[in-house]
Amino acid sequence: MIDLLPILQQTEIVAKEAGAFIRKERQSFDLNKVEQKGLNDLVSYVDKEAEKIIVDRLSRILPEADFITEEGTGSTNGKEYTWIIDPLDGTTNFIHGLPIFSVSIGLKFHDEVVLGVVYEINFDECFYAVKGKGAFCNGKPIHVSPAKTLGESLIGTGFPYSAFGQIDNYLSVLRLLMEKCHGLRRMGSAAVDLCYVACGRQDGFFEYDLKPYDVAAGIIIIQEAGGRVSDFEMGDDYLFGKKIVATNGLIHDELVSDIQKIWKK
């Protein structure tokens, strides 16, 4: 595997460049330019242009890599390295002028995510990690929280916006957790949620119907911060399996157990 630290440094620059473009466009954003890809699945020219910027820059940094992107820029040809990109995670927040939204860039080597950068634009926070080197935010090491039980935990999640087949199970899980933990939060950007677990602002996070570009960068950042990631069945199909649980590790078994009491495959 190539030396990832120089790649990481350049990827941070790319994420911040795309973030600067997004920040500038938010100042004069026109709601009439919003498109709808599907039920409540929104996109704008900002997402598309930011993705073009990212793919162009990353293609120069690592020409031998494939791309998995939200808006379909780039190509996939079965190469060893694959960039997994969400140019604007939290588009609905962005459209409504509501923080939080972010740029999320992950790099996969074969079947494993080995590099991740998440740039939260509104607070100018850049979270990043490379396998085996720890996790950081704006140059400072970050670590997951020391919470040992759900009873002392704050849990993040995301609300379904188009896949409503599991809505009753989801609401039942929320009710169960409301009675057990300090509270539930919905940021609107899964990438940011994962980073907030990594730096200890949240103790756990779960969501379903997510895409690889929503979670790729956050996965490695949490793992390098000392946390744990699984799917709802305690397995490892969390990148492409659409179901993810991410925690500080200490509450992981308890959180997954509670989800499994209700959730149906």
The 3-class SS string of 25-66 reads: HHCCCCHHHCEEEECCEEECHHHHHHHHHHHHHHHHHCCCCE
Can you tell me the distance from the alpha carbon of 109 to that of 39, in angstroms, rounded to the nearest whole number? 33
Does 89 belong to an annotated binding site?
A: yes
**Residue 20 CB contacts under 8 Å (≥ 6 apart), including other chains:** none
71 is in an annotated binding site: no
Q: Can you tell me the distance from the alpha carbon of 85 to that of 199, in angstroms, rounded to the nearest whole number?
A: 21
Q: How far apart are CA 190 and CA 258, in angstroms?
A: 21
Please name the residues in contact with 63: beta carbons below 8 A apart, sequence gap of 6 or more.
Answer: none
Residue 237 annotated in ligand binding: no
Amino acid at 152: E
Beta strand 183-185 with 243-247 is unpaired
Residues making up the binding site for Mg(2+) = 70, 86, 88-89, 214
Residues making up the binding site = 70, 86, 88-89, 214
